[in-house]
Amino acid sequence: MNASADEMFKFQKEPLDESGWVIKNVLSMPIVNKKEEIVGVATFYNRKDGKPFDEQDETLMESLTQFLGWSVLNTDTYDKMNKLENRKDIAQDMVMYHVKCDKDEIQDILPTRKKLGKDVADCDEDEIAKVLKQELPGPSKFEIYEFRFSDFDCTEIDLVKCGIQMYYELGVVKKFQVPPEALVRFMYAMKKGYRKVTYHNWRHGFNVAQTMFTLLMTGKLKRYYTDLEAMAMVTAGFCHDIDHRGTNNLYQMKSQHPLAKLHGSSILERHHLEFGKFLLADESMNIFQNLNRRQHEHVIHLMDIAIIAKDLALYFKKRTMFQKIVDESKTYEDQQKWTEYLSLETTRKEIIMAMMMKACDLSAITKPWEVQSKVALLVAAEFWEQGDLERTVLQQQPIPMMDRNKSAELPKLSVVLLILCVPCI
């Protein structure tokens, strides 16, 4: 634009300031964001060489305004990200409030008011440890070392106490300096973190951890693992289905649940893992707080492998690898040499651990008939509830196993499930 010849600049009868500056030519372009909204205008006056602005100047100006437009958008995006981060923090705070045990609930496990006349917060670690020892049921009362263990005669608080007992039986509380109060709060959070669904609830979570404990101790598989690894495996058992919704991975995808959008594969398994790590990140429940950095990383790594291994989509690949390990073990006549060899083979140990976790997840089928028959009905009931959702919410016909209209076929369908389960156990 030749400013001196344009009617818009007729106001310019003389220099605009004391320096004698006069508008001679102008290059002006709108600043447009990604939404094609004009959010500003960029204007340049008077080239330094005194010449009019040319096409090259226009090209440079276009690049500049595009950059400025994106910069404005980035500012908006940054604000939105900050708001999302704040909302996430608020949501996590709400979750933590509902999962943590309060000062009254913790008295169910640590009755310090009754025994010492004061709250847990006012007790030192030795006092808490003494009260806890008096409250734990011991290993024999509920048969936590037995594969036939049944939770039906236990209250949910009994299971919390049994869970705490298992850590003491593993010998990890003293060895890794686990604060007794943190252990109690962690186990109580496990109970509260499981939803009140028909089957995948706190009782199932405990049963899986108890079976892992029994495989290690009674089944003598602990000879392949360190105390730290055993601690990680039992903890993974407790966390393995926390916050389960009573529906499977396929339902999360079909219903376009946010979990399916967040996790591309092993949807629920990754959620359970992240939820468990989220709770452990809280110092009041962090049973790993006195581990060194290397130990902590190893524990989290093992929990990751164990929990993700529950996904049946990954099971068949690992089963082939597991069979090779079994075949390899048959080439050793000396059991001690095999144990020494396998104890140093990290990859093989992780494969065995993954198979152990899947076996624990399906271990209800190994219980005495009076136990497994009841569990089978609970599993079927939860399947039917998902089938009802598929029919009403998704407007889809559920598969026979999840169709309550075909409940008469439950024995036949259970046999089909057995064909899948038996190789895992």
**Of 23, 24, 30, whose CA–CA distance to 61 is shortest?**
30
Distance (Å, whole) CA 241 – CA 210? 14
Residues pairing with 2 in the sheet: 25
Name the residue type at position 51.
K
Quote helix, strand, coil % in the chain, to nearest 5.
65, 5, 30
Residues pairing with 40 in the sheet: 31
Catalytic residue among 98, 200, 244, 272: 200
Q: 263 an active-site residue?
A: no
- Angle at alpha carbon of residue 233, lines to 232 and 239, rounded to 5°: 85
Helices H / strands E in the chain, number of each: 17, 2
Is residue 204 marked as binding? yes
Residues pairing with 424 in the sheet: none
Is residue 241 marked as binding? yes
Confirm if 368 and 143 have CB atoms less than 8 A apart. Answer: no
3-state SS string over 113-126? HHHHCCCHHHCCHH
CB neighbours (10 Å) of residue 425? 15
CB neighbours (10 Å) of residue 301? 12
Task: Please give the positions annotated as active site.
Answer: 200
Q: Which residues are annotated as a binding site for Zn(2+)?
A: 204, 240-241, 361
